[in-house]
């Protein structure tokens, strides 16, 4: 049995010479020819189903620490905001994919991530804004900007992180700088120098301020939950290394078939089970030889409907494989883009030559209703 995966990107349903890329020969009983893709008969598509997965943009996770609420965690005496002393803030940032960034290795094999520990002191007379400034400055020294950003939020409290930290701000915000990073735990501990007589003291057990069962102690909050991107132009370049070697072994990939940064694609995949007429290596009586290949197409959102209609026209069902992805406010982040779709004739749109399977059904059987086996 011969198996391989064929991946193709569409940026236009028109060839550089102006001809249509999707050609149906023989109506609903004939094959669908996709130029630079292949010729497909409905009878050979496994279960007569093409599986559809919508692409979506990524969302960086955003955490805020409301310093005013720390007065409920460590209430001050005699009207003070917090008792003077030294405190330690600990944040554990976990990584969804343990193989994405290897420097995040963690001794516990079940967890991959990084602890961020910073100290800050509270002096007599400090108010929430003073403590917030100290936390911000400590975090700004400790974090790596390729991983996290620290700053404040704008007046709405929900917008992305702002570059400057206002003088009277009482909210410290941390934003992940990688789509796979998640804020797992946030805790604060107070230093007590009286815990033992022979040492300098220690930090008491940290109080969870992100996932505490007591709501009044949750001074930290996930403002925006992170979402990993899928099938965007950048995702295709980074994860699939397009154009892939199998696609360029025999002919150069035209510029119009390369991923477009900023564009969102829809993934269509199916298995194609085609019987072969010749005997295999054993040449046994009654032997059946099949070629099972997997075909994956990435089509821009605005061309998806026409692409689906071409398969439905030969009797193939389009099956949704993932629910719609939404942000915390319920807004869809699946599909949709303002990026232009390259069309033949535009600058850079025709480079690389036509090549591929432009001949459509050339060389096949004369009867369009007879599969080419």
The band of 106, judged by pLDDT with boundaries at 50, 70 and 90, is: very low
Give the contacts of 137 (CB within 8 A, at least 6 positions apart).
Answer: none
Locate 105 and state its tokens: 């290795």
Residue ending a domain, choose from 200, 224, 248: 224
123-131 average pLDDT score: 93
Inside any domain, residue 355: no
pTM: 0.73
Inside any domain, residue 25: yes
198 and 78 together in one domain: yes
Inside any domain, residue 193: yes
pLDDT in tens, 155-176: 665 556 666 678 888 999 999 9
pLDDT in tens, 212-236: 899 999 999 999 899 889 999 988 8
For residue 339, pLDDT over 50 is answered with: no
349-354 average pLDDT score: 34
32 and 130 together in one domain: no
pLDDT in tens, 247-304: 554 444 566 678 888 999 999 999 998 877 665 555 566 667 777 889 999 999 999 9
69 and 217 together in one domain: yes
73 and 197 together in one domain: yes
Residue ending a domain, choose from 320, 338, 367: 320
* Domain span holding position 22: 2-57+229-320
Give the contacts of 9 (CB within 8 A, at least 6 positions apart).
Answer: 236, 242, 257, 258, 259, 265, 297, 298
187 and 115 together in one domain: yes
First to last CA, the chain: 15
Provide the greatest CA pair distance for the chain.
96
Q: Rounded to an integer, what distance in angstroms lies between the CA atom of residue 32 and that of residue 24?
A: 5
- Higher-scoring residue by pLDDT: 361, 78: 78
3-state secondary structure of 86: strand
40 and 99 together in one domain: no
Instruction: Name the domain count of the chain.
Output: 2
b/e map of 149-162 (b: 16 or more CB within 10 Å)?
bbbbbeeeeeeebe
């Amino acid at each position: 049995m011969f198996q391989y995966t064929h991946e193709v990107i569409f940026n236009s349903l028109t060839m550089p010479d102006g001809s249509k890329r999707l050609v149906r020969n023989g109506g609903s009983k004939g094959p669908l020819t996709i130029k630079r893709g292949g010729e497909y008969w409905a009878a050979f598509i496994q279960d007569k189903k093409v599986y559809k997965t919508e692409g979506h943009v990524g969302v960086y996770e955003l955490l805020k620490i409301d310093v005013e609420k720390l007065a409920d965690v460590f209430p001050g005496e005699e009207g003070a905001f917090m008792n003077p002393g030294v405190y330690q803030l600990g944040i554990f940032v976990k990584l969804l994919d343990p193989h994405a960034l290897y420097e995040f290795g963690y001794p516990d094999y079940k967890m991959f991530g990084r602890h961020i520990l910073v100290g800050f002191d509270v002096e007599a007379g400090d108010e929430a804004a003073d403590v917030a400034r100290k936390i911000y400055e400590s975090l700004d020294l400790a974090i790596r900007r390729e991983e996290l950003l620290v700053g404040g939020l704008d007046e709405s409290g929900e917008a992305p992180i702002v570059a400057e930290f206002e003088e009277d701000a009482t909210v410290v915000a941390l934003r992940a700088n990688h789509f796979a990073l998640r804020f797992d735990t946030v805790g604060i501990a107070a230093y007590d120098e009286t815990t033992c007589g022979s040492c300098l003291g220690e930090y008491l057990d940290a109080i969870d301020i992100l996932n505490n069962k007591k709501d009044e102690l949750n001074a930290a909050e996930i403002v925006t939950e992170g979402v990993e991107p899928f099938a965007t132009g950048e995702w295709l370049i980074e994860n699939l290394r397009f154009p892939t070697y199998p696609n360029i072994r025999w002919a150069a990939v035209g510029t119009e078939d390369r991923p477009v940064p900023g564009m969102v694609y829809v993934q269509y995949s199916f298995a194609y089970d085609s019987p072969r007429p010749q005997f295999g290596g054993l040449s046994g009586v009654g032997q059946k030889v099949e070629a099972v290949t997997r075909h994956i197409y990435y089509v821009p959102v605005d061309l998806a409907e026409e692409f689906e209609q071409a398969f439905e026209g030969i009797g193939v069902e389009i099956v949704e494989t993932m629910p719609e992805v939404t942000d915390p406010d319920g807004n869809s982040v699946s599909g949709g883009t303002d990026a232009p779709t390259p069309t033949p004739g535009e600058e850079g749109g025709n480079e690389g030559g036509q090549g591929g399977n432009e001949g459509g059904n050339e060389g096949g059987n004369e009867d369009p209703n007879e599969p080419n086996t």
